[in-house]
Amino acid sequence: VQILLKLWRNGFSLDDGELRSYSDPTNAQFLESVKRGEIPVELQRLVHGGQVNLDMEDHQEQEYVKPRLRFKAFSGEGQKLGSLTPEIVSTPSSPEEEEKSILDAPVLIDDSMPATKIQIRLADGSRLIQRFNQTHRIKHIRDFIIQSRPAFATTDFVLVTTFPNKELTDESLTLQEADILNTVILQQLK
């Protein structure tokens, strides 16, 4: 292990670490070991019996100046957050759960027409996943929520896209016209 000992007017530092006062008994013992040509006990524990190369720099005519932290580039992995067209990012806990939510659905699907899946995150924290034809309208999503959760029939709510958040106010638009194919829709109470 390579260690740099810097001697300052008011103390010493190891490898750009904090200033250690000469008057502290532990630090005085450390320096005595170095003067005798021995490896200080603290460093022996650090390297677990390995070899230590101790370099020294004399800065005793200068006051200690805390060194600037060196820039270390992030070396981990990154994850992209959001996209222009939100996609379903979470899946049901099991294929049976997804199939169940579709089978119990009160939405009639024309299999000869293009279809899409919409995930709806409800205000109560639960979620629904439903297949719709691309020609279904936003109004059909509202009706599906009310039929699936009758408690919301008397509740005033709006439907909102995820990123970027946009309230779906024109319920006569088709899902394709509203550009919400294969997306997540949020239900927000007014």
The pLDDT tens digits of the residues spanning 155-164 come to: 888 889 887 7
Set out the domains of the chain in order of their start, with CATH numbers. Answer: 2-58 (3.30.420.210), 115-189 (3.10.20.90)
pLDDT of residue 29: 92
The pLDDT tens digits of the residues spanning 17-28 come to: 899 999 999 999
With a CB cutoff of 8 Å and minimum separation 6, the contacts of 42 are: 30
Model pTM?
A: 0.45
pLDDT of residue 133: 93
With a CB cutoff of 8 Å and minimum separation 6, the contacts of 132 are: 107, 109, 115, 116, 117, 118, 140, 141, 175
Q: What are phi and psi of 3, to 5 degrees?
A: -130, 135
**Ranges of residues in the chain whose predicted pLDDT is under 70:** 69-105
